[in-house]
């Protein structure tokens, strides 16, 4: 009898080794490599050695009929927006997030909303007992809907149960880390198990036409625990995120085969679950103190929606040999770059200063277009002079000190105007702007122009 094949798999990134080692060469993590029995084949596909003769398939031309992907729409506008206009039938979606951020709450609310619109939804809870899920459903006023509940963790049993009933439109698996399959002999929670279970559920989605949502917990370093491997198997990946101490929650699309990425849905967690936030700018600017130095309003874009947020900077002479740089809600290397450009091209020297940068409201910005607002906030904090309270900033700073145009200038300005801002500092992107704009526009071509304006 052949010996069962043993593999050593990194639980953080899924890299496979033939022998154990302390450090994973692929992701650099220590002590994450675990021995797993890979017998049964990953995903339960045909066994090695069991020869199958190839079957010819039809070759197709590129032109031809295109069917619009049919979607199921929940009516929760923020949820639908993040999924790219509704969940595509037969697709698999991964929703990742920190434990306790509100994934189960969000999905229970989405399930209830879909059910109220006549869609069949099965909620598979592998993590919580039926009573717990019912209690949450009651609290969220979802208990009166036709959502069906299944407390099961074995994939084969789940499929057998689903096969019995009328085909649902959506199956929610909460969470993928609790599933295990007979086809994989590894222990539950290992990469092999998670991958096999996910693949089986994805195959079910494609074959049955029901959409499948897989919930995945994220570890503290931001990766979906172990099964980062699931990310490339699914059609869409969404993260549910929020900063500690804030009630805002953001559903962010990082991958979507059927729609745009970078789209966000904004929610606020309250006593009765998640409330949709239709106008996030108002919320993020809500607690603004416009007279404080070091605060600049950035007119940003998140997917197709403009979002205004306040960027706060504090610079203070440092008592340390190596001054501190602390960033919340933005990119640390990006801050280092803006500081270097201010130093090299504008004579603004912060080498002996501690620098703190914070995006208000627990929001996270990924756009380089925030460079100009960050620079304005830094210079304002250093000089102690507040920025004009009715002014917004956007533009990308290049290493040469030039301020480069960014996309969607007109949309950013429209949102700013709507919220009562009267002026904007921006790069030369006039081609993009409509002729009649109600705002005063101040063009800066290079960062020194901005510094002269602010300081």
The residue within the footprint of ligand TYD, chosen from 46, 64, 100, 384 (CB under 6 A), is 100
Cα separation of 397 and 337, whole Å?
9
| For ligand TYD, the closer CB: 251 or 450 | 251
| For Mg ion, the closer CB: 104 or 199 | 104
Beta bridge partners of 149: 123
Tell which phi-psi region holds residue 200, choosing left (phi > 0), alpha (psi between -120 and 50) or beta.
Answer: alpha
The entry of Mg ion, ligand TYD, none that residue 97 binds, CB within 5 to 8 Å by partner kind: ligand TYD
Cis ω before 175 (30° cut-off from 0): yes
- Contact at 8 Å (CB) between 301 and 330? no
Query: Shortest approach of ligand TYD to residue 279 CB, angstroms?
Result: 22
The residue within the footprint of ligand TYD, chosen from 11, 91, 105, 199 (CB under 6 A), is 105
Is 99 annotated in a binding site? The answer is yes
Is 272 one of the binding residues for ligand TYD (CB under 6 A)? Answer: yes
Site string for Mg ion, 67-106 (x = CB under 5 A): -------------------------------------x--
Query: Shortest approach of ligand TYD to residue 319 CB, angstroms?
Result: 39
Residue 244, phi then psi, degrees to nearest 5: -55, 140
- Contact at 8 Å (CB) between 359 and 377? no
Is 101 one of the binding residues for ligand TYD (CB under 6 A)? Answer: yes
The entry of Mg ion, ligand TYD, none that residue 157 binds, CB within 5 to 8 Å by partner kind: none
Is 265 annotated in a binding site? The answer is no
Structural tokens at position 337: 């770059």
Strand order in the sheet with 440-443: 325-328, 353-359, 305-317, 295-302, 391-393, 423-426, 440-443
> What is the 8-class DSSP label of residue 44?
G
Is 220 annotated in a binding site? The answer is no
| For Mg ion, the closer CB: 15 or 93 | 93
Cα separation of 219 and 189, whole Å?
13
Helix (H) / strand (E) containing 75: none
What's the half-sphere exposure (Cβ side, CA atoms, 13 Å) at 90? 7
User: Which residues within the stretch 129-148 sit at the binding site for ligand TYD (CB under 6 A)?
Assistant: 136, 139-140
The residue within the footprint of ligand TYD, chosen from 86, 96, 97, 227 (CB under 6 A), is 97
What residues are designated binding site?
97-104
Provide the binding-site residues for ligand TYD, judged by CB under 6 A: 97, 99-105, 136, 139-140, 269, 271-273
Known binding-site residues for ATP equal 97-104
């Amino acid at each position: 009898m052949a010996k069962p094949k043993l593999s050593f798999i990194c639980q953080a990134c899924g890299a496979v080794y033939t022998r154990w080692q302390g450090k994973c060469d692929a992701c650099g993590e220590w002590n994450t490599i675990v021995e797993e029995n890979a017998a049964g084949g990953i995903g339960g596909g045909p066994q090695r050695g069991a020869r199958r003769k190839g079957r010819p398939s039809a070759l197709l031309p590129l032109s031809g009929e295109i069917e619009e992907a049919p979607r199921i729409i929940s009516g929760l506008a923020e949820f639908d927006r993040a999924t790219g206009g509704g969940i595509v039938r037969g697709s698999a979606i991964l929703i990742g997030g920190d434990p306790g951020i509100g994934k189960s709450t969000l999905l229970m609310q989405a399930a209830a909303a879909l059910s109220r619109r006549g869609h069949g939804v099965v909620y598979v809870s592998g993590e919580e007992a039926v009573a717990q899920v019912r209690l949450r459903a009651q609290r969220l006023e979802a208990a009166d809907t036709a959502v069906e509940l299944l407390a099961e963790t074995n994939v084969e049993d789940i499929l057998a149960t689903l096969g019995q009933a009328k085909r649902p439109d959506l199956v929610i698996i909460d969470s993928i880390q609790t599933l295990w399959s007979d086809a994989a002999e590894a222990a539950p929670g290992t990469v092999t198990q998670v991958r096999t279970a996910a693949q089986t559920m994805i195959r079910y989605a494609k074959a049955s036409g029901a959409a499948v949502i897989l919930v995945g917990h994220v570890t503290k370093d931001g990766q979906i625990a172990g099964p980062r491997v699931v990310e490339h198997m699914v059609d869409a990946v969404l993260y549910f995120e929020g900063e500690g101490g804030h009630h805002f929650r953001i559903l962010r699309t990082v991958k979507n085969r059927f729609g745009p990425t970078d789209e966000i849905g904004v929610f606020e967690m309250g006593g009765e679950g998640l409330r949709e936030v239709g106008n996030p700018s108002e919320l993020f600017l809500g607690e603004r103190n416009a007279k404080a130095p070091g605060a600049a309003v950035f007119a940003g874009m998140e997917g197709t929606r403009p979002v205004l947020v306040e960027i706060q900077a504090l610079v203070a002479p440092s008592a340390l040999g190596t001054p501190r740089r602390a960033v919340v809600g933005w990119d640390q290397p990006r801050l280092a770059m803006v500081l270097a450009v201010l130093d090299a091209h504008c004579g603004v020297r912060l080498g002996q200063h501690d620098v703190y940068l914070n995006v208000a409201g627990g929001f996270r910005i990924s756009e380089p277009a925030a460079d100009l607002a960050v620079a304005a906030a830094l210079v304002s904090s250093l000089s102690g002079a507040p920025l004009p309270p009715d002014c917004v900033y956007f533009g990308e700073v290049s290493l040469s000190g030039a301020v480069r145009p960014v996309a969607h200038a007109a949309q950013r300005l429209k949102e700013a105007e709507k919220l009562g801002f009267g002026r904007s500092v921006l790069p030369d992107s006039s081609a993009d702007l409509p002729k009649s704009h109600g705002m005063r526009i101040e063009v800066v071509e290079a960062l020194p122009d901005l510094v002269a304006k602010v300081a």
